[in-house]
Structure formats: C-alpha cells, structure tokens
Chain A
C-alpha cells in the first residue's frame, strides 16, 4: 500500500515536471526580476542617451563590401541609419532591444566573417547569418580603438571557437571561461587576447551590452535607430 502511494507521488511529480518543461519558454531561463535588479532600466536608458551624443567614426579598415559605384542600398522606410553597416570581422554589434519587450538585457554579438556573426545565447555560443541590419530594431556597431583589424579578426575567431560553453546566468561572475553571457563573451575575447578591458564602472562587475558601446576603449561606427 505504502509502495503504491510512493509510486503515485513519483508519477505525479514526473507529470508535473514534464508539464513545467513544456510550458517554460527558453527565454524564461532569464529571471526577469533579477536582470532588472542587476541592470536597472533607468540606468540602461541613461547610457543609451549618452550614445546619442557620441560621434560616429569611420571604421579602422575600409569596408569589406560589395560596394562599388554602381551598387545601391535599400532600406525600410522609417529607418534611420548612420554610418555604414559593418561586415568586418571583429566588429562588435550591440542592440538595446528588450528581449520579448520586457527584459532590459539587450544583446551583443561579434562579426566572424562578413556574412556571419557569433553570439552567446541562453543555449550556448550560436553562429548564424550577419542579419542585424534588419532583424534588430535598434543596433550599434563599435570597434576597439587600440586593436588592429587582424587582432579584431583573431578575437572573433576566439569567440567562435568556444565549445560546450553554456549560458552564464551569474552576470557578476565575468571571470569564468566555462560559461558565457553575450557581452561577457565579447569582453573576454579582447581582455584575454590583448589585455583590453571594455568594462565600465556601470553595473559593478556585470557587463551590460550597452557598456561595450559606452566604453572609452571602443568607438562607434554605425547606428540604426
């Protein structure tokens, strides 16, 4: 009788576990309340405001591009683009777009080749098409001031080669290399290879993607608003 009771309890828990797994979206792996506490929305907005006064520089290397005199660029009506959307490996992409419109985390990635980007996501380090020109509502591109294009390229290769690295939900533990979150991955690439620390005093040790734009060690080369 007792054995049957235990089995029932176990079965109920198993069903509940399956239901929980089925109805918990991947995104909810981020605890929205924690993220908002670590990266207060007002502070993120203040940093974004600061970007508006930043000068848009020319990239350190001529654009690797199809561009020739007879090429034309099309864009959606209503989009404001400043500078040229980058395709150079090692350029850092940042979006302040809120995940599903409520998590003020933003996101960052690094260009690996002209048509691919590498980004740390909740599921690991993902490689995909360089499509931020359209898929992001707002987008910034920055380049590290003191590095050469070759060093930027090597930094992007370092990010790409990270294997079996799950998401780092402990945003303050930026020193681990066993797991990454998006801006930590990009930050670590330049710190570990060249000793360049792109972190700013904002948010303590945690690195918000926007800090990669406001860092005095990067310069803004493209803005989409």
Chain B
C-alpha cells in the first residue's frame, strides 16, 4: 500500500511539475517575425507580444507568471519553443510558439539566472549562499541533476553538443573570473582564467570553433572595452580592444560581430561597434537609443530598447534606420525582458 502510494505521489509530482497550461486558442502569430517578453516583478502579469515584419503588433499573449525573462540574457528559442524562467516563482517556462502552450518545469532552485537548452537537455544556473548551482534537466524524462560550485557566481552559460561553458566570477574580496568547461554530465573538465579580460560576463555567443564574450567591467570592477575570443580546441584566448566601453550584447551578421555598447545596470548606451572578423577592423555607429538586446533576420537588424523596438538594415557596414514601434508597457511596473526571433 505504502509503495503504491509512493509511486502515485511520484507520478503526481512529475505530472504537476510539468503541467501544460492551455492559453488563448486564437493563434494569429504565424505572421510574426519577432516576439518580445514584458513582465512585472510583483504581479503574475507577464506577456509575449508578437510583431510582424512591419513592426505591427499582431497579438499579445498573457503569461501568468511574474519576473519572466531577464534583459541580461537573450531568450533561448530551440525547435519552435521559447525557454525562459520566472525568477520569483522558481520555474522554467517552455512556451510552444506555434501552439502557445506553456509547460512549466520545477528545478527546485531559487533565483535562476541564465538557462540554455541543447539536445533535450536544459541547463540553468543560480547562486545561493555563496554557492553556484548548475542544474541539468532532461526534458523528456524530467530527470534532474545538479552540481555545486563553491565561492563563485555563475553569470552566463553556453552549451554545444559536447560541452557546457560557464562564465564564473569569484565575488570574494579579490575579484577574479574563469571559464569553466564541463561535459554534459556536469563534470568539470577544465578552468581557464579570464581575470585579465574582465569579470561578470553576461553576454557570450559561439560558432563551431570559438566562444566570443563581452567584458564590460575589468577585474577592478571598472568600465572596460574588451571583447575576447576563446578557441574551443586549443583554449587560446584572443582579445579585441574597442574604442568604446561597456560591450554587452553580441550578434553575428555574416563575417561581422556586432557589439552593443550598453550598460544593462544603468541603461547607459553608446551605439554599436562592427568588428570585421576577417580583417579585425572596427567601425562604430552612434545610436540615440539604448541597445538592450539585438536580433538579426536578413536584411533586418532588430534592436530592443526600454519600450521601443527599432529596425535597421545593414548595407556596406552602415546602419540604415527603417522603422520603430512602441512596445505595450501599459501596466505600472512592467518592463521588457527579452527579444527573440520567431522560428
């Protein structure tokens, strides 16, 4: 009897932990080019707004959670599903962008910062009591595995088919930073010191061979102007010095790396740098608005600011303004927390 009850309880936990919430059945988002998350920290009143390629708002879908997404992190879209988190409610949200179904996963960790998804595995990180916890959730089986890393703050995760990369900062009296290389079972393979480049790296992107990461603050916690490239095979790191400080969001556009100069803490901004990866030349483009996050779908560069989405075209390494549109932030205390392209 007890055994049967335990089995029942286990099934109930798994079922409720990953329950699907069917939302508005009207799905007009098939014409959507991009989506924007808006949220509130004190109310279960978030939303996803879908825009077409003329930046017309097509549809807004309510998401009944608070603190959804984070403008420090680009939302993850994999296989037609958006993955983000509700920080206050300690859940991962998997939103099917076609059907607009929300599935929630409980990781059992508070204050989840970044999360990434690769081949049915979801990785996320949080820092509790001076210990960072990296969690791995097998999405089909719901199997959860965690690993603790003492005395460090994990600011950013990236993963590929073989490895998980964690950008960590020791926030003790002497600041320092490292890149942790882990296998997909969360075993630590190597640590690479990043202190000479900066600390608290929040933005990084990758191609097959390299990780590129922004270093907006130095090891002295002062404004910095470095981008660095980590070779996944040799572990060599090459840095690029920019003319402007606070490199933040990164984006590949063909053979060019776009670098937003933006401080997400204070919303200070100073345009976008274009780093030509073949010639290593840098050109800078002044913008009169913030660059919280960027996304590119040829020929358009979409730039998210506080309450506005901007569209530019890139021609001969020049930015041509096309149009802009306001994001509905009609609820007191709401803010934008993520930009993503529709699959």
Contacts and interface: CB of A to CB of B under 8 A. Distances in A.
Interface of A: 4, 7-8, 10-11, 14-15, 18-19, 22, 25-27, 64-68, 70-77, 84-85, 87, 89, 97-101, 112-116, 121-131, 133-137, 154, 157, 160-165
Given A11-B5, A126-B126, A115 B110 contact: no
Given A15-B9, A72-B269, A66 B223 contact: yes
Q: Count chain A CB atoms within 10 A of each CB in B8, B111, B130, B131 and give the residue with the most.
A: B130
Nearest to B112: A128
A85 B268 CA distance: 11
A95 to B, nearest CB: 9
The residue in B13, B42, B71, B222 that gathers the most chain A C-beta atoms within 10 A of its C-beta is B42
Contacts of B130: 125, 127, 160-163
A129 B70 contact: yes
A67 B128 CA distance: 31
Interface string B150-179: 000101000000000000010111010000
Given A66-B268, A87-B266, A124-B129, A7 B173 contact: no
21 contacts: A8-B1, A14-B6, A15-B12, A18-B12, A66-B216, A66-B223, A66-B263, A67-B268, A72-B289, A73-B266, A99-B42, A115-B264, A122-B110, A127-B128, A128-B111, A129-B264, A130-B265, A131-B70, A131-B72, A160-B172, A163-B130
A157 B172 contact: yes
Interface of B: 1-2, 4-6, 8-9, 12-13, 16, 40-44, 66-67, 70-72, 87-90, 110-111, 113, 126-131, 153, 155, 169, 171-173, 175, 199-200, 202, 216-217, 221-223, 244-246, 261, 263-270, 286, 288-290, 305-307, 329, 332-333, 335
A33 B65 CA distance: 24
B314 to A, nearest CB: 22
A22 B19 CA distance: 12
B265 A126 contact: no
A161 B202 contact: no
Contacts of A154: 173
Contact of B264 (A97, A98, A123, A131): A131
Counting chain B CB atoms within 10 Å of each CB, the highest count among A84, A113, A161 belongs to: A113
Contacts of A15: 5, 8-9, 12
Given A65-B268, A131-B72, 9 more contacts: A7-B1, A15-B8, A26-B110, A66-B216, A76-B306, A85-B267, A113-B175, A135-B67, A137-B42
A127 B265 contact: no
Max chain B C-beta neighbours (<10 A), residue from A77, A116, A122: A116
Contact of B267 (A74, A112, A124, A125): A74
A115 B216 contact: yes
Contacts of A164: 129
A161 B153 contact: no
Contacts of B172: 157, 160-161
Contacts of A130: 265
B200 A116 contact: yes
A128 B127 contact: yes
Contacts of B246: 66, 71
B223 A100 contact: no
Given A14-B6, A72-B288, A101-B42, A127 B306 contact: no
Nearest to B87: A128
A97 B41 CA distance: 9
B111 A121 contact: yes
B9 A14 contact: yes
Contacts of B111: 121, 123, 126-128
B2 A7 contact: yes
Contacts of B40: 137
B43 A101 contact: yes
B332 A137 contact: yes
A18 B42 contact: no
Nearest to A66: B246
B3 to A, nearest CB: 10
A84 to B, nearest CB: 8
Given A97-B42, A134-B335, A74 B153 contact: no
B267 A26 contact: no
Nearest to A99: B42
Contacts of A18: 9, 12-13
A123 B2 contact: no
A65 B9 CA distance: 52
